[in-house]
Copies of this chain bind each other. A is one copy, B any other.
Amino acid sequence: MMDSNLLYLTQTDVKAVNLSMAEIIEAVEKGFYELGEARVEMPPKPGIHPGEGGANFIHAMPAYIPAMNVAGMKWVSGYPGNMQKGLPYITGLLLLNDPETGIPISVMDCTWITGMRTAAASAVSAKYLARPDSETIGILACGVQGMTNLEAMNVLFPLKKVKAYDRSPEQAAKLVDYARNTLGLEAEIVAEPKQAVTGCDIIVTSGPILKTPHATIKGGWMDEGAFASLVDFDSFWSREALAEADLWTTDHLGQYDYYKDVNGYFQNCPRVDAELGALVTGKAKGRTNDAQKTFAANLGIAIDDMAVAPLIMQRARDKGIGTELSLY
């Protein structure tokens, strides 16, 4: 039997590849272009739910993007209880196959990609939905997604000022430190969530995803002309604040409807006006004036991962990063 190499990349290897956020955003946007042109295969993501109460999940997220010559699958776990044990909430592996033969060609830790591609999808939404001159960004909940979303928005927009809200001041201080010292932005910790909404051009809510929204953000807080990326679904948003939306978008209507109708999220949200793929291909209009309040409620889909993973694999091979395993 022919020899076949499988490139294994640890989480450290994946980070060491040092793919830039700009490259990730570009790849994710390409993926959404293909999705918008209906040239990808992405079946629903099935999952298993070990443990009591259904809080844990392990999802299979397969996708095939012919134009990017990528076929593969992310097998990703989310265990809320892990954090108390000092273990990561999200863990998992991403597998790539040779689309020509189906043979596996790479196995890599998926956590770094998951963190980065989610933020990149926010930024792609913002490209079509936020004002190009957006300068002030409010981040509500300053964990991994708060950080990566800030990084991604800073790639596409002339950001000047960051307002960081988190129930943990230490967490907010980390983001402020990152904004100042790594990104060179003005940044302040705000004591009240309203201060990270009102006066902001871009708002990112990135707390834990909850079935019953805590609905912290009230009607009248969001400025005219602002854009909000709801990384934690509608958890942060009250019915009145959501009712102000002029344009409500998602990365995948089928999965959005599933989360809404089967899982009970997004109950107070407006009707979806456009999918991200349609914004990218120009089949649907994004922002059309400077007064609209625009929203992206992206769920995170397999296209995001599969658009990025081949770049990681190729760059790792080029740099000699990772462990070459034999399949046979």
Contacts and interface: CB of A to CB of B under 8 A. Distances in A.
A78 interface: yes
A73 B71 contact: no
A92 interface: yes
8 contacts: A10-B325, A11-B328, A46-B46, A87-B101, A91-B101, A92-B104, A95-B95, A109-B328
Nearest to A79: B102
A85 interface: yes
B51 A100 contact: yes
Interface string A277-320: 00000000000000000000000000000000000000000000
A62 B79 contact: no
A58 interface: yes
Interface string A43-84: 111111111000010101011101000010101011100100
B50 A43 contact: no
Contact of A46 (B12, B58, B62, B88): B62
A86 B66 CA distance: 24
A199 interface: no
A102 B107 contact: no
Given A58-B102, A92-B102, 5 more contacts: A46-B60, A48-B64, A50-B99, A87-B103, A93-B107
A46 B49 contact: no
A97 B327 CA distance: 20
A26 interface: no
A1 interface: yes
Interface size class of A (residues with CB under 8 A): 35 or more
B50 A58 contact: no
Contact of A50 (B71, B85, B87, B326): B71
A29 to B, nearest CB: 21
Interface string A32-45: 00000000011111
Contacts of A63: 48
A76 to B, nearest CB: 9
B328 A12 contact: yes
A2 interface: yes
Contact of A104 (B73, B91, B325): B91
A66 B52 CA distance: 11
B58 A71 contact: yes
B102 A91 contact: yes
A8 interface: yes
Contacts of A86: 2
